[in-house]
Amino acid sequence: MKKYQTGNAEIDQQHAILDSMVGQLSVFCSELKLDPDAKCEKCSSIKRQQCTVTLASITSELTAFLIGHATYEEKMMALLPDTPSCQTHIKGHKAAHEGILRQLKKISIEVVNKSPQAICTQMFQVIRNWLGEHVAKFDSPLVGLGKIALPEIDFDGELVAMLDEHVFPNRPTITKKSLGTEFALERKKLEIRGRFESLSTAQRAVFWLVVSGKKNPEIAEALGVTVNTIKTHRASVFHKMEVKSVLELVKKADILR
CATH number at residue 219: 1.10.10.10
As a whole-number percent, the residues of the chain with pLDDT over 70 amount to: 83
SS3 call for 177: coil
- Identify whether residues 231 and 134 lie together within a single domain: no
- pLDDT at residue 74 greater than cutoff 70: yes
pLDDT at residue number 236: 92
- Identify whether residues 122 and 245 lie together within a single domain: no
Residue 12 inside a domain? The answer is yes
Q: Are 171 and 255 in contact (CB under 8 A)?
A: yes
Residue 178 inside a domain? The answer is no
Residue 176 inside a domain? The answer is no
Residues 119-149: tens digit of each pLDDT: 888 899 999 899 999 998 988 888 877 666 5
Contacts 24+ apart (CB under 8 A), 101-110: 101/63, 101/66, 101/67, 101/70, 103/130, 104/59, 104/62, 104/63, 104/66, 105/63, 107/59, 108/56, 108/59, 108/60, 108/63
Residue 101 inside a domain? The answer is yes
- Identify whether residues 150 and 92 lie together within a single domain: yes
CATH number at residue 123: 1.20.120.50
- Identify whether residues 115 and 216 lie together within a single domain: no
pLDDT range class, residue 175, cuts 50, 70, 90: very low
Provide the 10 A C-beta neighbour count for residue 245. Answer: 9
Q: Are 21 and 61 in contact (CB under 8 A)?
A: yes
- Identify whether residues 8 and 101 lie together within a single domain: yes
pLDDT at residue number 62: 86
- Identify whether residues 37 and 128 lie together within a single domain: yes
**Residue 44 CB partners (closer than 8 Å, separation 6+):** none
Residue 171 inside a domain? The answer is no
Mean pLDDT of 201-211: 89
Mean pLDDT of 17-37: 78
Residue 194 inside a domain? The answer is no
- Measured CA to CA in angstroms, residue 198 lies from 101, 209, 223, 236 at distances of 11, 17, 20, 11
Residues 211-240: tens digit of each pLDDT: 888 899 989 988 888 999 999 999 999 999
- pLDDT at residue 70 greater than cutoff 90: no
CA–CA gap between residue 212 and residue 114 (Å, rounded): 43
- Identify whether residues 138 and 27 lie together within a single domain: yes
**At 16, phi and psi to the nearest 5?**
-65, -40
- Identify whether residues 26 and 117 lie together within a single domain: yes
CA–CA gap between residue 87 and residue 91 (Å, rounded): 6
Residues 101-121: tens digit of each pLDDT: 999 888 888 877 888 888 888
CA–CA gap between residue 140 and residue 4 (Å, rounded): 9
Domain coverage including residue 152: 2-166
Q: Are 111 and 119 in contact (CB under 8 A)?
A: yes
- Identify whether residues 162 and 205 lie together within a single domain: no
pLDDT at residue number 177: 45
Mean pLDDT of 41-63: 83
pLDDT range class, residue 33, cuts 50, 70, 90: low
- Identify whether residues 63 and 144 lie together within a single domain: yes
pLDDT at residue number 91: 93
Please state the domain count of the chain. Answer: 2
- Identify whether residues 127 and 235 lie together within a single domain: no
Residue 143 inside a domain? The answer is yes
Q: Are 87 and 25 in contact (CB under 8 A)?
A: no
Residue 175 inside a domain? The answer is no
> Average per-residue pLDDT in the chain?
80
- Measured CA to CA in angstroms, residue 18 lies from 74, 97, 191, 198, 201 at distances of 17, 14, 11, 19, 27
- Identify whether residues 38 and 137 lie together within a single domain: yes
